[in-house]
Structure 1
Amino acid sequence: MRKNSIKNTRINQEVQKELSEIIRAGIKDPRINPMTSVVAVEVAPDLKTCKAYISVLGDEESQKDTLAGLKSAEGYIRTKLARTINLRNTPEIRFVLDQSIEYGINMSKLIDDVNRDLNEKGEVDDQSDI
Structure 2
Amino acid sequence: MSKHKNHREQTPGGSQRQLRVGELVRHAVAEMLMRGDVHDPVIEGHLITVPEVRMSPDLRLATIYVMPMGGRDAGEVVAAFERHKKFLRAEIAHRINLKFAPDIRFRVDERFDEAERIDKLLRSPEVQRDLEQGDDE
Q: Which runs of 5+ in 2 are unaligned?
A: none
Is 2:68 the counterpart of 1:41? Answer: no
Is 2:89 the counterpart of 1:75? Answer: no
Q: TM-score by structure 1 length?
A: 0.76
Query: 1:24 Cα shift?
Result: 3.1
Is 2:76 the counterpart of 1:65? Answer: yes
Q: Aligned partners of 2:104 and 2:92: how far apart in 1?
A: 10
Q: Aligned partners of 1:8 and 1:14: how far apart in 2?
A: 10
List per-residue Cα deviations over 1:59-82 (Å, max 9, x = no partner).
56x111101110001111111111
Report the secondary structure of 2:18's partner residue: helix
Q: Aligned partners of 1:27 and 1:109: how far apart in 2?
A: 36
Is 2:26 the counterpart of 1:16? Answer: yes
Counterpart of 1:85 in structure 2 is 96
Q: Aligned partners of 2:135 and 2:23: how far apart in 1?
A: 39
Q: Aligned partners of 2:50 and 2:126: how far apart in 1?
A: 33
Mapped contact 1:24–1:34 kept (Cα < 8 A):
no
Q: Aligned partners of 1:37 and 1:59: how far apart in 2?
A: 10
Flag as ranges the 4+ runs of structure 1 deviating above 6 A: none
**Which structure has greater helix proportion?**
2
Q: CA RMSD in A?
A: 2.9
Counterpart of 2:38 in structure 1 is 27
Is 2:77 the counterpart of 1:56? Answer: no
Question: AA paired with 2:114?
Answer: Y
Q: Which runs of 5+ in 1 are unaligned?
A: none
Q: Aligned partners of 1:34 and 1:128: how far apart in 2?
A: 45
Query: 1:56 Cα shift?
Result: 2.4
Counterpart of 2:15 in structure 1 is 5
